[in-house]
Amino acid sequence: MNEAASDLDHCVTLDGYSLTRAQVVEIARRGATIDFDDDALKRVDTAAAYVAEKARSGEVVYGVTTGFGKNSDVILPSAEAAVELQRNLIISHAVCVGDPIPNEAVRAILAIRINTLLQGHSGIRRETLATLADMLNRGVHPIVPEKGSCGASGDLAPLSHIGLVLIGLGEAEFDGEIMNGADAMQRAGITPVELTYKEGLALNNTTAFMTGLGVLALDRLETLAKTADIAAAMALEAIAGRSAAFDARVHALRPHPGQIAVAENIRKLTVGSTLVDIDPDAVPKVGGDWPIEPGQTTPSAGKSKSPQDSYSIRCVPQVHGAIRDTLSHAISVFDRELSSVTDNPILFPDDDAAISAGNFHGMPLAMALASVKNAIAILASISERRLAKLVDAHTSDGLPFFLVDNNDGIQSGFMIVQYSAAAVVNDLVSRAHPASTYSIPTCANFEDHVSMGANEANHVSAMTDDLERVLAMEILGSAQAIDLRQRILAGELWSDGPTNPEALARAEANRQSAPQASPAISKVVARVRDSVDYLRRDRELRHDIHATIELVRGGKLVAVAERHCGPLS
C-alpha cells in the first residue's frame, strides 16, 4: 500500500469518484467504516426516480421492463413484474461454488460496489445503499464462494451471494459465526431490503468481485516486490558478489522505471557491506583444512575470480524491474476501475437516456491480472534459482553443500527446502497460463465472449500466497548462508565457540574484524534470527519456514530494512 494507513480517516466518505486503493485496503483489512457524500446521494435519488418512471411507463429499457440476457426480447407485462424480476435475478444467480472468499475480500467488494453506484448512473435507491453500508459497517459479511463468475456480464454470481443477504436470504458471517442471512441481519440490527426496479441488476452486473480481489492482491504484491529486492540483496551478500551490475550509470542507459528502482534498492540495502566486492583471495573455501586458525594463509580461494555473478544475481534489476513495471501497469488499470461505472444499462437522467453497452466486461482487468500472474511466476522462479545457487557448493562461492556441516554424511540441511521451493514454482508456472485467452460462451450464446477475469483474480490471490512462501524459503536460506559466510571469514565455522575468557575475546575480535554484511541486511538477518535459530544440525525446518513466511507476509522484514536504509522504491 503506497499511502500510509495513518493518513486515512477511520471513516471513509464515498462520493463515487475518489476512492483509492489505499482506502479499499483500510476498509477491507483494518475495519474502516464508510459514509456518503451528500451530493452523491442527490445523484442517486435522481437516477432512482428516473428508472422508476421508466418502469411505470412501460418504456422498453433493458433489465427494467425486459428480461435479462437472452430473455431481453421479452417485454414485462407490468411494473409489479419488473419488481419481481429483480428479486428473481438475485436468487437465481447466486450459484457460486468452492471455498468462501475471505471477509476482507467481501468488504473490499462491498466498498467498491457501493462507491460506483454513488455516481448515479445505476438507478439504485439511497435506502438500499444505506443498508449495504450498514452491512459493511456492522460486520455482516456475506458468504461468497470463490468460483462461478465468467467476468461478463460482470461478476453476476458472486455479487448475487451478497445480494441474497441484503434481502434476508443466503449465509453470512457475523461476530465470528456463520449463520443464515436473515439471522445475521437481525443480530446486527439491520432490516433486509425489498428490491425494486433495476436494483438487482445494479448490484450484480459489475466487475466489483475481480476488482476487490485484485486490489488486495496488488497491495500485497507491492510489499512482496520490496521483499524480493531484500532477498536478492541477501543472496548478493551471501555469495560475496559484485556490485558493478547495480551501478546507476548502467541503468540510466536502459531507463525502464522498475529496473532503475530495483538497482537503487540493491545499492541502498548493501551500503556499508564489506562482503560485497571482497577480494576473492580473501574468501576461504570450505573443506580440506577448513576451518583455519586466524592468520593462517588461505590455501585456495572459495570465491570465483570472475567479475560477473550468475544471472539470478546480476540481472536482478532487469528481472525484478520488469515485474515492477508490470505491477505498475496493473495498478493503473485498477485505479481507473475504482471510479468506473460497470453495470448495464447505464442511466443518463439529464439526457433522458438509458444506454445498453458493455462496461461490465472484465477484459481490461483480466488482461492486467494475466500479466500479473506471469510476473508472480517469474519472481518466484528467480528467487528459487538464487536459493538453488546457495545450497550448491559448486555455485555458492565457497559455502558448504546444503548450508550445513555434513562431514559425517548424515545432515541434509537446506537440501529439501530448495525442493519445496522448486515444487511451488512449478505449480505457479502451471497456473500462469492466462484464463482470459479462453472464453467459453454463456447465456445461450448471447454472451458469446466473456473475460474470465474473476478466475484471473482468484489465481492471483492464491499465487500471491505461494510467492510469499518461495521468498520466505529463499530468505531463510540466505540468512543461513550469510551467517555461514561470516563464520568462515572469522575462522569459526562449526564449533559452538570457545569458552575460556581469552579465547572468547579473541573470537569476538575476529568477528569484528571479519567482513560483514551491510547494516541493513545484518538487521534483516537478526530479525530472522529472532524467530529462527541458526542451523547447526538437522531439525524440523517446517517450523522455521512457517515462521519466516509470517515475517514475509506481515511486511516485517521490509519495515526492518527501511528503518536502516531508508524507504525502498
> What whole-number distance in Å separates Cα of residue 237 and Cα of residue 273?
8
Pairing status of strand 97-100 against strand 141-142: unpaired
> What whole-number distance in Å separates Cα of residue 111 and Cα of residue 20?
11
Pairing status of strand 97-100 against strand 145-147: antiparallel
> What whole-number distance in Å separates Cα of residue 217 and Cα of residue 195?
32
In degrees rounded to 5, what are phi and psi of residue 537? -135, 160
> What whole-number distance in Å separates Cα of residue 367 and Cα of residue 210?
12
> What whole-number distance in Å separates Cα of residue 313 and Cα of residue 306?
14
Could you check whether the bond before residue 153 is cis, i.e. omega within 30 degrees of 0?
Answer: yes
Q: Of 50, 62, 197, 311, which is the active-site residue?
A: 62
From residue 90, alpha-carbon distances to 157, 297, 532 in Å are 8, 79, 50
In degrees rounded to 5, what are phi and psi of residue 226? -65, -40
* Alpha helices in 118-178, H assignment, sequence order: 126-138, 156-166
Q: With helix as H, strand as E and coil as C, how does 303-343 read?
A: CCCCCCCCHHHHCHHHHHHHHHHHHHHHHHHHHHHCCCCCC
Whether residue 62 lies in the annotated active site: yes
> What whole-number distance in Å separates Cα of residue 562 and Cα of residue 269?
9
In degrees rounded to 5, what are phi and psi of residue 45? -60, -40
Q: In this structure, what DSSP letter does residue 76 have? A: P
DSSP for 215-256, written as a single string: HHHHHHHHHHHHHHHHHHHHHHHHTT--SGGG-HHHHHTS--
DSSP for 431-487, written as a single string: HTS-GGG----BTTTTB-----HHHHHHHHHHHHHHHHHHHHHHHHHHHHHHHHHHH
> What whole-number distance in Å separates Cα of residue 86 and Cα of residue 164?
11
Retrieve residue 1's grid coordinates.
500500500
For residue 118, the SS3 value is: coil
Q: Which residues are catalytic?
A: 62
